[in-house]
Amino acid sequence: MKKKLLLSALLLVSVVTLSWAQEYLNQDQTLSSGNYVYLGFSNITITVPQGQIVSITFTGGYGGGNLIVAGQLTINKSDQDNMQIGGNLTVESGGAVSVNGNFTTSQNVTLNTNSSLSVTKNYASNLPYNSGESVQLLTGSQLLIGGNAAFNAGHCIINQDALLKAEGDLEFANAYNVITGALKVGGTLGFKNSPNELHCPGSIVTKNLLNEAERNPDALSGSGFIQVLGSFISNNPLTSDAAIVIDYDPNQGGGDIGSATRGVMSPCATTLYVKLSQFTCSYKANSIQVSWQTATELNNKGFYIERSTDGIHFEALDFIVSKALSGNSSDPVDYNYSDKGYGISNYYRLKQVALDGSITYSTVIHQNVPNALNAAATATDQVVAYPNPAGSFIDFKVTAGAVLFLYDANGRLLRQIALNAGVNRISLSGISSGLYYYRYGAQKGRFIKK
């Protein structure tokens, strides 16, 4: 009798454990510290709050929703196969994600300040082609890959003081990748398309370099340092910019460096005209407040405040003249800018201009607007735009708070603008003259920028 009861209990435990292991999540989850086993998850959001240490073992291979990690998350695959995330992956400042196995992401990946994503095997970014979505590494963040890395579409943005490191090969299949931080590749770094950008103090260190991009434009533009430890193969010129310095052995591969300068030292300027002690943004009272503080200023003319919807293509919003006397100060100086023409996803950077014309870019910061403003306009919502032609601004009068989409004449999405009910004045500074289209729910229109 006791043996039968024990056997029944063991069977019950097995059934419960199996049920738990096969659970497929279809509701948003906020996880506290602990170990979890799931089959997968649908179009939901899983959140790991700050201070929580979470381990998830997936018995399936797909999660269709979003991951937001402010604490520590370890992802395990029960069969050591590939795990794919179909939604956005956001690692908040100080957060960390570790993946044991192969890992694939299909939407935006944002590694915020001092966060990390590490993958023990291969990593693939399968973003929709030319979607404007990206893998974004903000200041101090790290993406560490134990195997090969394939950025099959979308764009990869490595900001200053960020690190992308792959122990194996790394291939950029799409264009518009931007490197201002450090890129290290243990195997072969490949560029399939152009253009791509390298900006000081950005650097590339790779065993081999393979440039398969066509000319006009060249594979790389900008400034920075490249070190090739092994072979360099490039049938077309790598760059037209002499400000890119490359250290390589011309006897290994015989690649065409174009107008790049051969050398063993980074060309990036060591003169620091402005030292930033703070650069932040926050959403307040229907505007995004961008604030920064300088610790010191040397011959500083001022700052262009620039904004982007994708972290790649930036536009100047305004120029803020230096508050320091003659552009020089050894005391803290505070600056602020109020952006009322924001969209759903907003990236900001400072373009600092010295009195001698030298330019230095800050790190990039990111701000989403609250979910309340992310609603789409309905079929009955109305929009009126004036004046037309427009000058430095345009007013959109709408019947309900929702998102307006702004496109250039070629149909490229420029902005996603969160509008409030009533009249919304949107700055057009930084937008060149020409024809533009907008969409607000079922309503469409166009205007001319003078």
- Domains delineated in the chain: 23-262 (no CATH), 274-368 (2.60.40.10), 371-449 (2.60.40.3080)
Helix H or strand E encompassing 12: helix 2-21
DSSP class of 377: P
End-to-end CA distance of the chain: 91
Give the integer Cα–Cα distance in Å for 341 and 396: 11
pLDDT number for residue 5: 45
- Contact assessment for residue 119 and residue 145, using Cβ atoms and an 8 Å cutoff: yes
Model confidence at 11: pLDDT above 70: no
85 vs 416, higher pLDDT: 85
pLDDT band at 20 (very low <50, low <70, confident <90, very high): very low
List the single range of 58-67, 129-138, 249-258 with lowest mean pLDDT. 129-138
pLDDT more than 90, % of the chain: 53
pLDDT number for residue 378: 62
pLDDT number for residue 372: 44
Write the pLDDT tens digit of every residue in 128-169.
655 566 899 998 999 999 999 999 888 899 998 899 999 999
Q: CB-based contacts of 155: which residues, under 8 Å, 6+ apart?
A: 127, 132, 133, 134, 135, 174, 175, 176, 177, 178, 310, 311, 312
Listed residue (39, 5, 8) closest to 22, CA to CA? 39
Helix H or strand E encompassing 83: strand 82-85
Write the pLDDT tens digit of every residue in 295-306.
999 999 999 999
Q: Give the bridge partners for 153, in sequence order.
A: none
- Contact assessment for residue 443 and residue 432, using Cβ atoms and an 8 Å cutoff: no
| Among 82-86, 141-145, 249-253, the range of highest mean pLDDT | 141-145
pLDDT band at 21 (very low <50, low <70, confident <90, very high): very low
Half-sphere exposure of 17 (CA within 13 A, CB side): 6
Write the pLDDT tens digit of every residue in 314-373.
889 999 999 999 999 999 999 999 988 777 778 899 999 999 888 888 888 888 776 544
Is-above-0.85 flag for pTM?
Answer: no
In the chain, the amino acid numbered 51 is: G
pLDDT number for residue 387: 92
In the chain, the amino acid numbered 103 is: F
Listed residue (295, 375, 359, 306) closest to 329, CA to CA? 295
Cβ neighbourhood burial of 354 (10 Å; 0-12, 13-18, 19+)? buried
In the chain, the amino acid numbered 366 is: H
Write the pLDDT tens digit of every residue in 94-112.
999 999 999 999 888 999 9
Listed residue (121, 125, 172, 128) closest to 147, CA to CA? 121
pLDDT band at 14 (very low <50, low <70, confident <90, very high): very low
Give the integer Cα–Cα distance in Å for 403 and 398: 10
List the single range of 148-152, 176-180, 238-242, 368-372 with lowest mean pLDDT. 368-372
Q: CB-based contacts of 30: which residues, under 8 Å, 6+ apart?
A: 46, 47, 48, 49
Helix H or strand E encompassing 35: strand 34-38
Work out the number of other CB atoms within 10 angstroms of the CB of residue 108: 22
Token pair recorded at residue 357: 């014309």
Listed residue (142, 138, 147) closest to 100, CA to CA? 147
